[in-house]
A and B are shown apart, each in its own frame.
Chain A
Amino acid sequence: MSSESESLDAELETTTLDGEGVDLSMVIDLQRCTGCGACNIGCAQENNLQEGMAYSSRIIETNGEFPNVSYEYTPTLCNQCDDAPCAEGCPTSALHKGKGGITMHDHETCIGCKSCMINCPYDEIHLNEEDPHPTWESEEATIESGTASARAVKDRAGVDDDVDAPAYYNPNREVSETEHPTRYKGIVEKCNFCVHRLERDELPRCVEECPCEARIFGDRNDPDSTVNEVLAKYNPDVLKADEGTEPSVNYVRDYNGGSYERGTGEPGLGD
């Protein structure tokens, strides 16, 4: 395990959930990010996401004209806004602010009305228009009696037929009372900082998965947290600040760190 992950893990273990005392926050160091997408793949596997539904996602922009071109890769996820318009506008309070400031979703009270999707300025809430992973229902083989089928692989891998998941189904979400392991048709879903992992003192999967140690996670209200150290060191930014939603996901430094004036950056967190 990387030194950064180890120290963030240690912080997490000593973090106390004291009423309003904990404000879980993520900082993404864009200079460390290499746009590799490991976060997105890890998230998809941790949360058994249907293809095309990415809690951990990205905004990619290319600007300028050849040869003066800049390329920016911005990793995105639910911002767990302090003033979360998705929660404010939810008629059943299925979306609500939970412990640690996480914007939680209760699948049992969700009626799939989509008002949260309209209210979220970040497009981070997704509707299940069908039960997930329908392709994993298939019993068809490419070469009869020579290649496998989706159902056959699930069977070999020990995943029940009625679990709407791939053969590499991750049972981790079963441990949390607040999550449904795979979701189902008619409700929305979103990132919750992997609350099932947080409950077991493990970092969100995207943080752990990042090979560049670009994601820093911890308690904003702990003055000694790495999150606060990083936020103090750089000039943090949030997406769409003018929306006034007070995101808990901050960004520091620039993806195209090399084009910045050299010598202005501090040594990275891995040091």
Chain B
Amino acid sequence: MSQHDTTDDDDTDLWIGRRDVMKAGAVGAVAAGLGSSLTSLTPLAQAEDGRTDLVEHTGDWRPSTCAGCTSWCAAQVLVDDETDRVLRTRGHEDSRIHGTNDCPRQDLGIQQLYDPDRITQPMRRTNPEKGRDVDPEFEPISWEEAIGEIADRIMELRENGEPETFMVTRGRYTYLRPILYSYLPQIIGSPNNISHSAICAEAEKFGPMYTEGEWSYRQYDVQQSRYVLAWGADPISANRQVSHYSNEFGDLLDRATVAVVEPRLSSTATKSDEWLPVEPGHDGALASAMAHVILRDGLWNREFVGEFEDGENRFVPGERVDPETFEESENSRGVIEWWNEELYDKEPEWAADEAGVPAEQIERVATGFAEAGPNAISWLGGGPCMQVRGSYTAMAIHALNGLVGSVGNRGGTLYAPSTGVEDLPAPDEYVDEVAEAGLDHEKIDQRGRLEFPALKDGESGGGVVTNNAADGILDEDPNEIEVLISYWNNFAFSNPESQRWEEALAEIPFHATIETHASETAWFADVVLPATHHQFERWGQLRSTGAGYRTINLHTPVMADDPDDPEDVLENGRLWDVKTDETEIPYLLAEALADRGFENLLAFFETEYPDPESGRSLREEIPGDDFESRELRAQAFSRNALKLRTRPIWDPDYRENEFDWPGGEEFDDWVEFRERGIWHTDEWEYRHRWPSEGGEFDTDTGVFEFDGETLRNALEGHAERHDTDVDTVLDVCNYQGRVDDPDAPDAFVPHYEEPYDMGDEDDYPFNFVDYKDRLNREGRSANTPWAQEFNDVNPGDEPGKDLAKINPRDADRLGIEDGDEISIRSPVGEIESTAKLWEGVRPGTVAKTWGQGHWAYGRVASDEFGDEARGGSNNVVIGAEYDRLSGSSVFYGDVRVDIETR
């Protein structure tokens, strides 16, 4: 019913009525306005039922953090003074990284908070059958009942002496994560805490790890750079300090050349000087050819790499170099080995044939990049390395930074300065014999087996193989999983070949999930626990990295006037009866387990998590055994955990006497820090890790390695563990590199390997190009109407549609027209989509934005909740393959599909 229909005008109408009241005032305002400030346009009188000033002037900007991607921007949230309603968000004004600038993803946050499809209270499955086509028939239950059910199941496992059948999966997190992700399973006795990291971008970390010893993402010094060479990275669109890079990009274009290697015209490519539309899977050929050009033409950085003893450049195409003629810099080693084993014959013409990029463009970009060095960035994204053989590509791309001396240098590729946060108190003393026996079991993702080296930090099985956990569950290998707690993830949607997770989840006898929405994963759950929204309703801590700094950013429950008061938070700080996954729920579980006779978890929390300001334990602060008191203690526990985590920052005594303080901003008390919500490190010091400056790289040799010495040690360690040799490891893991085989690339130096096609080229003639939606909040925004309405911010996409972009030449050949309904089929699955003919994709490829294809989650995300998907999910056609050296799932480069009209 319209209150405002002009055809049915009504004097009692709220707004029309108010306007009538204000007319007199309005006339006065215009008259008085002559010659005065714009402010004088302000009506002199306001109706009682309307606002008299902007919320920006009457409300509060309260600090929090956006976890809509791993930029993790420090944020401020505008809370309305009259209703405590969250009205808008922005970057934190005090951030030296991004200031008030935020990317559009953060702006979607309020549509998540106020989403009509949010879960408002715990639910229990009543239908014992599980499946995609099976309605779970959820019914509401109380928190006490829900927590009790989970506790019963955990007790049963421990009583049966099989705690290893318990499992926790994590997706996004805050740095309060150890409580639920690590300590809870540890005290129960399960090694099975499986993170999402290997479906994120672990292969990206492999490059810097096995060149300079950093298993880490980088920050890029764009403010000082003169050349940016981005490899499958789209810094103004997706992931890692998008707010900062977006703000800098216009100036960067004035100062620097920007080149983008990417099979489709990405957001960054649309604005760049050079687009190198590489054939999917061949990025490594370009990297090797560029390194070849840089050495051939004598453009390397002498200070970082070294020089021929007589100054004569012996890097001649097709010829190997006598290592004795070259004097290595004290900063690096192995450039001659790299040349002799890989680069000497990798001429641009060869790479042009492999990668489909003109030789002259390869020459031009390599030359420009090197001449701008050391103020030049080889920017490694996930695209070139989340491929079956991506680890070596990651090394080659990152090694270019070594060649031009931009490692840790001005205008180059930096890491994060150390932060003043403390580890959370750990539970070692609370692990009993039952738990210890359980912890001895192998992990469910099978990491460390011969076929899964997952060489995080140089250690065999050091990293996670997220997606393989589905197979571990299905095969009950190494053991059955009886009880699963999943939180802040949607593995049934976000893992490649996600249909396997649907099967795996259906197999697990008891599954509790903690989420804001009824996701595809929740569809299989036995108990659904509603989660707080991370930016508005909870405590937590993340960090941002950029502009030479790292910041520590707090999540605070912004709708509570006194967030330190648990009562205020529970009463006013949440929209619904929701709780925080990482803290409140483990606490309530600890109480329930203690009720059932297992007190270790509760003793751990009660003893180790007092309020560091008052010294009071949780029970001292809030006594009582009723459930309401427990809920208050759970909230106090959440607050205490954050205070303990950040204590060096706000407690001068602790900072000076108990902690190895790295420098940075200093606060005098908790409230001062909490009200600001952001802390800065000192600024990154250029070149401080260079041995020539008295520093050290974290490789086994202490210097930057072009020869993969640290990788050699890691691979040999893994081979030894399995009583075999490195060649067998590489063969089993689908790599082409070998040790001392003249017909194969060298196993240790950064090198090019041919793509590993997932599907026969005759049956699946197209390469599938997947990339993440610019408005995708890590898979959680598809139910926000703005993400759908404005998804044409992804070049080639159109509002509200899920499109498969095909080059018009291919479409013409196949008789496909713009708007045709098509199917996309791979060896593992098939999805439906709509064809978009677009010149921004390489012929022979189909490009599709990741993020659509939900069949649950909500009414906007799906066509029909629980029944019909909106568009197609890329993960249905992307097979479950791995870059096994890093453990990463494959999303790019190797995925082959066929398309046809429906």
Confirm or deny: A240 has a beta carbon within 8 angstroms of a beta carbon on chain B: no
B39 A200 Cβ-Cβ under 8 A:
yes
Confirm or deny: B807 has a beta carbon within 8 angstroms of a beta carbon on chain A: yes
Binds A, one of B167-175, B243-251, B289-297: B243-251
Confirm or deny: A10 has a beta carbon within 8 angstroms of a beta carbon on chain B: no
Q: Which residues of A contact B838 (CB under 8 A)?
A: 62
Confirm or deny: B139 has a beta carbon within 8 angstroms of a beta carbon on chain A: yes
Question: How many angstroms from the CA of A151 to the CA of B898 in the assembled complex?
Answer: 45
A162 B3 Cβ-Cβ under 8 A:
yes
Least Cβ–Cβ distance between B772 and chain A, in angstroms: 14
B116 A150 Cβ-Cβ under 8 A:
yes
| A-B CB proximity, top 4 nearest | A184-B4, A32-B250, A158-B83, A211-B101
Which residue among A19, A36, A214, A255 has the maximum number of chain B CB atoms within 10 Å of its CB?
A36
Binds B, one of A114-122, A220-228, A257-265: A257-265
B residues near A, CB below 8 A?
2-7, 14-16, 18-19, 22-23, 25-26, 29-30, 33-43, 46, 50-57, 80, 82-88, 91, 93, 98-104, 107-108, 110-111, 113-121, 123, 138-140, 236-237, 243, 246-251, 253-255, 257-258, 265, 267, 270-275, 277, 518, 528, 575-576, 774-775, 785-786, 789-790, 792-793, 795-796, 807, 809, 838-843, 858-859, 865
Contact with B along A67-101 (1 / 0, CB 8 A): 10111010000000000000000000000000110
B270 A183 Cβ-Cβ under 8 A:
no
Confirm or deny: A171 has a beta carbon within 8 angstroms of a beta carbon on chain B: yes
| Cβ-neighbour of A62 out of B55, B119, B275, B839 (below 8 A) | B839
How many residues of chain A are within 8 Å of chain B by beta carbon?
116
Q: Which residues of A contact B265 (CB under 8 A)?
A: 62, 69, 71
Question: How many angstroms from the CA of A159 to the CA of B110 in the assembled complex?
Answer: 14
| A to B CB contacts below 8 Å, 18 in the list | A17-B37, A35-B267, A35-B793, A42-B88, A51-B789, A65-B839, A71-B265, A141-B116, A142-B117, A148-B120, A158-B80, A175-B53, A182-B15, A200-B53, A201-B39, A257-B253, A267-B254, A270-B250
Q: Which residues of B contact A247 (CB under 8 A)?
A: none
B41 A17 Cβ-Cβ under 8 A:
yes
Q: Which residues of A contact B277 (CB under 8 A)?
A: 66-67
Question: How many angstroms from the CA of A184 to the CA of B51 in the assembled complex?
Answer: 19
Question: How many angstroms from the CA of A16 to the CA of B40 in the assembled complex?
Answer: 9
A172 B575 Cβ-Cβ under 8 A:
no
Question: How many angstroms from the CA of A205 to the CA of B838 in the assembled complex?
Answer: 33
Given contacts A142-B117, A143-B518, A258-B271, 20 further A-B contacts (CB under 8 A): A45-B87, A51-B785, A66-B277, A73-B270, A100-B38, A131-B4, A143-B119, A143-B138, A148-B115, A175-B51, A175-B53, A177-B22, A177-B23, A182-B15, A184-B2, A208-B100, A211-B98, A212-B246, A213-B101, A258-B273
Confirm or deny: A145 has a beta carbon within 8 angstroms of a beta carbon on chain B: yes
Confirm or deny: A112 has a beta carbon within 8 angstroms of a beta carbon on chain B: yes
B518 A142 Cβ-Cβ under 8 A:
yes
| Cβ-neighbour of A2 out of B18, B85, B99 (below 8 A) | B99
A202 B54 Cβ-Cβ under 8 A:
yes
Least Cβ–Cβ distance between B220 and chain A, in angstroms: 16
A157 B3 Cβ-Cβ under 8 A:
no
Question: How many angstroms from the CA of A218 to the CA of B722 in the assembled complex?
Answer: 70
Confirm or deny: A60 has a beta carbon within 8 angstroms of a beta carbon on chain B: yes
Confirm or deny: A231 has a beta carbon within 8 angstroms of a beta carbon on chain B: no
| Cβ-neighbour of B54 out of A73, A146, A178, A200 (below 8 A) | A200
Cβ-closest chain A residue relative to B30:
A99
Q: Which residues of A contact B46 (CB under 8 A)?
A: 175
Question: How many angstroms from the CA of A164 to the CA of B83 in the assembled complex?
Answer: 17
User: Given the known A-B contacts A36-B103, A36-B774, A211-B246, are A17 and B114 also in contact in the complex, defined by CB atoms under 8 Å?
Assistant: no
